[in-house]
């Protein structure tokens, strides 16, 4: 960890700034020490801040740390099976996803569930010395290998052990966020997806992939074989969990039509429509008047009369009803 990373890292719980104590440094590099807030401590081990200690993990996150610790050394030599199963090129699949990030040489990129760095290296190749690549993973054993892969590239690089549901970074810092698998191991997927949007600036890009047999393949032999081998293939797609900040959302199924890819551009809050726009129609009014201006129901006879009256006056239903109610109400109120 470089000492300058303190300007970016935040407490994953409070979001507050961190200070460094007991640092063992070699120039700008901090090999060990402690990151502190008023009431929390995060150790730095092997040059990586540890924002999620093993004893703090539960559920799928704890399983993921233990599982990937057991396969870290053999992961790279066996991961090709994931692509061979579907007769696909590993490199082409990974590059097709990275292309969705719309990177330039000076992009600031966060990769979640970075693993051993198979994608990290492909991303690092697209950045120059003005770019930044920050890695996060739940498994220190995997992340050590990722750090080794990207060390030779010119971009600034940082790596941290952490939980994607509580990202240790400030708001709006990154230009792009990438996650190739891993979402299925997040304890709170909705919180994690919200965090992804939080740390990426408006206009930035988010891209993530996970296992999922789509509905149209669930009842096929193909789908049943996949789900039988790994129940995660039956996990639901994430559309209901995507944050309101997402704009121009795309979802497609790739890699044997058994993995979804979601990509979107980050916006600010929920979209805002021009809902006061007057609608040129028989009904008239606007989206807002039709939503906020609902009144109590009237009889069929009254409805027929006001429709005839509006037509005779050359007014839309909204104009006639609004003006008539106002006139009557003001008269009754004196």
Instruction: Determine the pLDDT at residue 63.
Output: 81
**Are both 87 and 219 inside the same structural domain?**
yes
Q: What pLDDT digit, counting tens, does each position of 107-136 carry?
A: 999 999 999 999 999 999 999 999 999 999
d(CA 59, CA 9): 25
**Are both 63 and 175 inside the same structural domain?**
yes
Residue 273, domain member (yes or no): no
- Which residue, of 266, 299, 317, is where some domain finishes? 266
pLDDT at 7 over 90: yes
Residue 271, domain member (yes or no): no
Structure-block tokens of residue 87: 């007769």
Percent above pLDDT 90 for the chain: 90
Instruction: Determine the pLDDT at residue 64.
Output: 82
**Are both 215 and 320 inside the same structural domain?**
no
Provide the domain count of the chain: 3
Q: What pLDDT digit, counting tens, does each position of 137-184 carry?
A: 999 999 999 999 999 999 999 999 999 999 999 999 999 999 999 999
Per the structure, the complete domain to which residue 307 belongs is given by 287-332
**Are both 101 and 163 inside the same structural domain?**
yes
**Are both 33 and 161 inside the same structural domain?**
no
Mean pLDDT comparison of 68-72, 207-211, 320-324, 326-330, highest-scoring range? 207-211
The residues pairing with 178 across neighbouring beta strands, listed in sequence order, are 111, 207
pTM of the model: 0.92
Residue 178, domain member (yes or no): yes
Is residue 231 very low, low, confident or very high in pLDDT (cuts 50, 70, 90)? very high
Those residues whose C-beta lies under 8 Å from the C-beta of residue 112, and which sit 6 or more positions away, are 136, 137, 164, 167, 177, 178, 179, 182, 196, 208
State the chain's mean pLDDT as an integer: 95
Residue 211, domain member (yes or no): yes
Residue 163, domain member (yes or no): yes
CA dihedral 203, 209, 210, 216 (to 10 degrees): 100
**Are both 214 and 301 inside the same structural domain?**
no
Residue 282, domain member (yes or no): no
**Are both 29 and 107 inside the same structural domain?**
no
**Are both 228 and 135 inside the same structural domain?**
yes
**Are both 32 and 78 inside the same structural domain?**
no
Residue 280, domain member (yes or no): no
**Are both 64 and 177 inside the same structural domain?**
yes
Residue 274, domain member (yes or no): no
**Are both 208 and 297 inside the same structural domain?**
no
pLDDT at 230 over 90: yes
**Are both 7 and 90 inside the same structural domain?**
no
């Amino acid at each position: 960890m470089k000492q300058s990373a303190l300007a970016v890292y935040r407490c994953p719980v409070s979001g507050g700034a961190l200070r460094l104590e007991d640092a063992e440094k070699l120039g700008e590099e901090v090999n060990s020490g402690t990151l502190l807030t008023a009431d929390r401590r995060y150790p730095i081990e092997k040059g990586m801040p540890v924002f999620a200690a093993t004893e703090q993990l539960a559920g799928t996150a704890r399983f993921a740390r233990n599982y990937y610790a057991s396969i870290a050394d053999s992961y790279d030599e066996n991961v090709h099976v994931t692509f061979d199963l579907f007769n696909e090129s590993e490199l082409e699949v990974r590059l097709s996803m990275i292309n969705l990030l719309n990177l330039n040489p000076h992009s600031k990129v966060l990769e979640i569930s970075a693993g051993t760095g198979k994608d990290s290296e492909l991303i690092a190749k697209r950045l120059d010395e003005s770019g930044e690549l920050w890695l996060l993973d739940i498994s220190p054993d995997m992340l050590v290998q990722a750090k080794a892969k990207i060390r030779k590239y010119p971009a600034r690089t940082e790596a941290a052990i952490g939980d994607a549901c509580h990202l240790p970074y400030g708001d709006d810092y990154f230009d792009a966020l990438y996650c190739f698998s891993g979402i299925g191991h997040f304890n709170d997927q909705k919180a994690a997806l919200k965090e992804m949007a939080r740390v990426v600036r408006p206009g930035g890009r988010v891209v993530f992939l996970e296992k999922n047999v789509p509905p149209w393949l669930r009842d096929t032999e193909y789908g049943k074989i996949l789900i039988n081998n790994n129940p995660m293939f039956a996990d639901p797609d994430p559309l209901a969990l995507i944050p309101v900040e997402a704009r121009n959302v795309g979802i497609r199924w790739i890699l044997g039509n058994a993995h979804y890819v979601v990509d979107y551009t980050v916006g600010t809050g929920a979209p805002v429509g021009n809902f006061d726009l007057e609608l040129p129609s028989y009904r008239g009014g606007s989206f807002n008047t039709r939503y906020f201006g609902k009144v109590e129901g009237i009889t069929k006879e009254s409805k027929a009369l006001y429709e005839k009256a509006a037509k005779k006056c050359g007014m839309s239903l909204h104009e006639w009803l609004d003006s008539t109610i106002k006139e009557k109400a003001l008269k009754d109120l004196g």
